[in-house]
Every structure is written in structure tokens, then in C-alpha cells.
Amino acid sequence: MRISSDSTFTYKGQAVDVKQIGRELGVRYVLEGSVRKASNQVRITGQLIDALTGTHLWADRFDGSLEDVFELQDKVASSVAGVIEPALQAAETARSAGRPTNDLTAYDLYLRAYAMVLSSAARAPEALRLMEQAIARDPRYGPALGWAAICCVRLLVDSLSKDQEADRRKGADFARRALEVAGDDPGILANAALPLAYFGEDIGAMIALVDRALALNPNYARGWHLSGILRRWLGQPDIAIAHVENSLRLSPRARVGTSFITIGAAYLDSRRFDQAVPKLLLAIQEDPSSPQPYRLLAACYAHMGRLDDARDAVARLRAVTSVVIPDVGYLRSTEHRELFLSGLRLAAGEAT
């Protein structure tokens, strides 16, 4: 629930405790800020606070000149809008995790699963199990349906699926059911679009769905992230990089997806191997359990002629999964598929 400015302005200029504001307005979180002027410079500060505990969830400051005050205002609005959603999601996840598991509602199950699927590829099966429990409690729970479909994609991409065909059918079904109840919810629209594109639906139509989500909320960081992934699958690496970098700008602290993998893969697609390598090394550092960055890194090293490094990347890959050469049918560009697979085969010592 968002409280109107008429209500919040009554506290302007007063030294009121945030917990008191939360009680009086009936809100869990409070966004507060200040504006300071010195000569021709302006500094705007903002912070997001848990009104129940007083915990600071996010804080930042923005500096600019009076001549550019409207541009600065737009920058602040964009940054704040982009960071609040993931910050609140993280706070609600942490709050939910402290509750007894036998008291969990569908929302609690969803939040626990949400934290898992973004934290580690290895936890995707457990996240899917929790999402399915949430859906069993509420079959029309759109966010859970969308994320369950995402989990199915993760099982396949990260070679964790025990029945690939069954997981493909299940993921597509979850995504279609999510769209049936999505309405104008940007998160559900975007999360449903990615699995459907992966499972073979028209990728142009799925990009249009994500574009619709971004039209509804231009500051939706995960929407830009998913748009980047789809643009990469379509064969547009430069646009993919720009969109994922925009998601990182909007949400620099809270993770919204596998950003470094996507950027590194897009650099590989455009044969900028030297730029791909550091991004993929960051991706491995971020989640050592995901096989995809090892595969991409091995392919990059092979195309750079660094075969010892390529073989080392494959050895590290084999420690994570037995599947070295994955299915890359989701890549619509034949050139990009072959570039990736030829490098990976060379790194693995397989005949091309």
C-alpha cells in the first residue's frame, strides 16, 4: 500500500520517530529523504527504513547543480523506484524466513523460494518444490506460477533436470497459467515471457510481453534483465548488454538475475572474448554451482587460443555437472550457437 502525499507531508520538518510514523500511517516501510543546497550545488539523500524495527534497508545520495535540477530529479526518481522493489522483496524474504515453517502461507513459501532461485543454481530444485507448494495452496497465484516456470528453465539450463521433457511441459504450463492471471503485473508478464521463449514460443512475441512490462514500469530492474536475456537469445548481443547494464544501474545492490553470465555470453556472441572473460569469472565467483559460466568461459578461452585455460575451465565444469555440451536450441542465431559449441568442443577435446 502506498500512502498519499497529503498524509506524508504532515510530517515535513518534524523530528518524528519512524516507528511512530509507521504506526500512525499503518505502513511497514518508510522512504524518507532530504534536500540540501550549497551555492550552486544540490545534494539529495534518501533512505528506506523498516518502520517496525528501524532497520535501514537502503540509502544513497545524489549530487548535481541547480541548472540540472530537473535531470537530477529524474535520476533520483528512477534510482529510488528501481531499488525499492528488490530491497522490499529481500526484506520481506528475510522476515518470512524467521517464521515457523508449519505456519507458512502460500506467500511465505513463495518468498522462501524466491530467495533460493536467485541465490544459487544448485537450489533451483528446492525452490521449484516450494513454488509448487505455494501454487497448490493457491492455483491462481501469478508470481509463484511465473517463478515456478523460471525454476524449470534453470533445471534445464543448469543440467539439473531428471526428466527434461517433463520439466519442459511443466515449465510451459506454469508460464501459460501465469499469463492467464497476469493482468498488468510487470513481474508476472516478464517472468512468464522468458520460459515461453526458452520452450520455443515466438521470441518476438515474448519480447513484446517484456516490453509491455517495461512500459508499465520503466524502472523494473528485473524486466530489463530479462529483456537482455531475450535479446541475446534473439541474436542482438549489443542490445542485450545495454539492457542488462541498465538493470544493474537500476538495482546495483539487490540481485535480479544472472547478469554477469548474460553480459559475458553476449560478449562471446560478438567475438569480444577478452571482454567476456572477466564477466564470466565474476559470474563464477557469484555462483560457483552454475555450470553455464564455466561452459562460456571454456569456449572463450578456446577461441582465444588459450587451450590450457580452456581445459581447466572444462575440468571445473565437470566438477559441477557431467553435461559438458548443453542444448542451446534457445539461441535463435545459428552463428552464435555454432560459435559457442565449437569453442566448447575444442576446449573439451571433442571433434568438431
Write the DSSP string, 27-83.
-SEEEEEEEEEETTEEEEEEEEEETTT--EEEEEEEEEEGGGHHHHHHHHHHHHHHH
User: Does residue 14 surpass a pLDDT of 50?
Assistant: yes
Average pLDDT of the residues in 121-143: 94
What are the grid coordinates assigned to 228, written together?
537482455
CB 50 within 8 A of CB 28: yes
* Domain 99-218 of CATH type 1.25.40.10: yes
What pLDDT does residue 90 have? 65
Task: Give CA 133 to chain center in angstroms.
Answer: 22
135: left (phi over 0), alpha (psi -120 to 50) or beta: alpha
- CA distances to 44, 55, 61, 62 from 66, rounded to whole Å, are 12, 32, 16, 13
- CA distances to 232, 312, 324, 325, 346 from 349, rounded to whole Å, are 27, 12, 11, 11, 5
What pLDDT does residue 62 have? 80
Query: Could you tell me where the DSSP H helices lie in 120-198?
Result: 124-137, 142-157, 164-182, 186-198
User: Does residue 85 surpass a pLDDT of 70?
Assistant: no
CB 128 within 8 A of CB 166: no
Considering the domain 225-352 in this protein, what is its CATH number?
1.25.40.10
Confidence grade of residue 310 (pLDDT, cut at 50, 70, 90): very high
Q: Long-range pairs for 90-96 at CB < 8 Å and ≥24 separation?
A: 90/57, 90/115, 90/254, 91/29, 91/50, 91/55, 91/57
Class of residue 14 by CB neighbours under 10 A (exposed 0-12, middle 13-18, buried 19+): exposed
SS3 200: coil
What are the grid coordinates assigned to 271, written together?
567475438
Q: In terms of CATH architecture, what is 5-81?
A: 3-Layer(aba) Sandwich (3.40)
Confidence grade of residue 16 (pLDDT, cut at 50, 70, 90): low
Q: In this prediction, what percent of the chain has a pLDDT beyond 70?
A: 86
What are the grid coordinates assigned to 197, written together?
521463449
**Domain locations in the chain?**
5-81, 99-218, 225-352
Task: Give CA 70 to chain center in angstroms.
Answer: 29
Find the farthest-apart pair of alpha carbons in the chain and give their distance in angstroms, rounded.
Answer: 73
What is the rounded CA–CA span in Å between residue 31 and residue 95?
Answer: 18
Average pLDDT of the residues in 97-119: 71
Confidence grade of residue 149 (pLDDT, cut at 50, 70, 90): very high
User: Does residue 97 surpass a pLDDT of 70?
Assistant: no
User: Does residue 3 surpass a pLDDT of 50?
Assistant: no
Task: Give CA 89 to chain center in angstroms.
Answer: 12
Helices first, then strands: H and E counts in the chain? 16, 3
User: Does residue 265 surpass a pLDDT of 50?
Assistant: yes
What pLDDT does residue 336 have? 98
In this chain, the answer to whether the domains covering 5-81 and 99-218 adopt an identical fold is no
* Residue 328 CB neighbours (<10 A): 15
Query: What would you report as the CA-atom Rg of the chain, rounded to the nearest whole angstrom?
Result: 22
Class of residue 63 by CB neighbours under 10 A (exposed 0-12, middle 13-18, buried 19+): exposed
- CA distances to 34, 95, 107, 350 from 53, rounded to whole Å, are 21, 11, 21, 57
CB 276 within 8 A of CB 267: yes
What pLDDT does residue 251 have? 84
